[in-house]
Amino acid sequence: MNGVIEYLQDEHTKLNIIKLIKNNLYLYHQINTNEKIQSFSGSIYNYFVSECIQNNQYISLSNETINRINDIYINLVKKLKQISTDNYDNELIESIVINHREQLLKALSENEYHKCDNQLYIPCSEYSGSFQYTLLRLNQFRLLEPVMDIGCGKDYELLKYLEHAGYKDIFGIDQYISDNNYIACTNWFDYKFEPNKWGTVIAHMSFSNHFRRSLINEDINLEKYKDKYAEILRSLQINGLFIYTPSIKQIENSINKSYYSVAYYENMNDRNLDTVVIKRNL
Ligand SMILES: C[S@@+](CC[C@H](N)C(=O)[O-])C[C@H]1O[C@@H](n2cnc3c(N)ncnc32)[C@H](O)[C@@H]1O
């Protein structure tokens, strides 16, 4: 997170943002409906979250923080659209930017789910739908619906691929805002996986990756991950599948095998990267 905090405190980037705002004042005036405000602020919210995730893919924004940052961007857009295009006050623009950055810093510093700092620099990627489909062996199963993709990514590539393949009842969750109404912007800890609901739950390089890391570090989120994982297993319908990579062998070993079966599919000669398919039998 340090990179984003430095970015928010850096004088040079502040001046660049002020310049960018001045050059785009005419654009803000065209944002004249609530729908346009939400859409524009949503895209700059996503840009900010993407900067945070690129900086540290393990950042976990609580729903409270997600809503707070979203509100900060909505307020910013509302303020910018009131500034006159030809007779603007430089000091006003500067104070809007300073105040906006202070609010973001405060929201990040008070984010409930991000107490483990001092991260390594670990970049984050999103993968194509066909890559995920193949690696997760989704062609080998008839996926029961509804399907949930946890941490589906800003561009929800796998869901688009599944939609194209004919699946209809598909959903995703992520920290990004989407204008697609089958994707919810939420932290997975704040999302309730209802019992017996899902035909298929998928998590590619997302939930289990973060869970593994929490397990290795024995950090403060570990119990939350264990509880959420158990909640996900209970949320499967009978014959439903939970399919994910990377694997978390220690956790999979502890699953009650009378209720669930566990299968592994090897990837790239690294057993940590196995695709795991858990099936609810009873
Ligand atoms: C490495 S990306 C993978 C995205 C997608 N599954 C793919 O393979 O292309 C991990 C995703 O998990 C999301 N994520 C991370 N922590 C999250 C959390 N606590 N709640 C919801 N989504 C989260 C990130 O926003 C990011 O989009």
- The number of domains in the chain is 2
Q: Could you give the percent of the chain with pLDDT greater than 90?
A: 76
DSSP letter string, 193-225: --TT-EEEEEEESSHHHHHHHHHHHT-TTHHHH
Say yes or no: 139 and 102 in one domain: no
Q: What is the distance in A from the centroid of ligand 1 to the CA of 152? A: 6
Determine which residue's CA is closest to atom 12 belonging to ligand 1.
151
Among protein residues, the one whose CA lies closest to atom 9 of ligand 1? 126
- Does any domain span residue 115? no
Claim to verify: residue 150 and residue 272 sit in the same structural domain = yes
Any ligand 1 atom below 6 A from CB of 274? no
89 and 173 share a domain? Answer: no
C-alpha to C-alpha distance for 124 and 217, rounded to whole angstroms? 19
24/147 same-domain check: no
pLDDT digit string, tens, across residues 238-265 = 999 999 999 999 999 999 999 999 999 9
Task: State whether 172 and 263 are in the same domain.
Answer: yes
Q: Is 65 in the pocket of ligand 1 (CB under 6 A)?
A: no
Cα 15 to ligand 1 centroid, rounded to whole Å? 31
Q: How far is the CA of 93 from the centre of ligand 1 (A)?
A: 34
Residues 142 and 261 placed together within one structural domain of the fold: yes
Q: What confidence score (pLDDT) does residue 120 get? A: 41
In this prediction, residue 124 has a pLDDT band, given cuts at 50, 70 and 90, of: low
Q: What is the pLDDT of residues 11-33, one digit of tens each?
A: 988 998 999 899 889 999 899 89
Q: Return d(Cα 63, Cα 44) in angstroms, integer.
A: 17
Q: Does residue 200 sit within a domain?
A: yes
Last residue of a domain, one of 78, 109, 140: 109
Sign of CA pseudo-dihedral 93, 97, 98, 99: positive
Determine if ligand 1 sits within 6 Å of the CB of residue 213.
Answer: no
For residue 57, what pLDDT is reported? Answer: 79
**CATH number reported for the structural domain that contains residue 273 in this entry:** 3.40.50.150
Q: Does some domain include residue 120? A: no
Per DSSP, 58 falls in state: T
DSSP 174: E
Q: Say whether 74 sits in a helix, a strand or coil.
A: helix
How many C-beta neighbours within 10 Å does residue 78 have?
13
Domain that holds residue 267: 129-280
**End-to-end alpha-carbon separation of the chain, Å?**
43
Residue 117 pLDDT exceeds 80: no
CB atoms under 10 Å from CB of 236, counted, come to 24
- Atom 10 in ligand 1: residue holding the nearest Cα: 206
CB contact at 8 A, 42 and 70: yes
Residue nearest to atom 18 of ligand 1 (CA): 187
Per cent of the chain over pLDDT 70 is 95
CA of 153 from ligand 1 middle (Å) equals 5
In a domain, 155, yes or no: yes
Query: Where among 74, 109, 144 does a domain terminate?
Result: 109
Q: How are strands ordered across the β-sheet holding 170-174?
A: 183-185, 170-174, 147-150, 198-204, 236-245, 275-280, 260-265
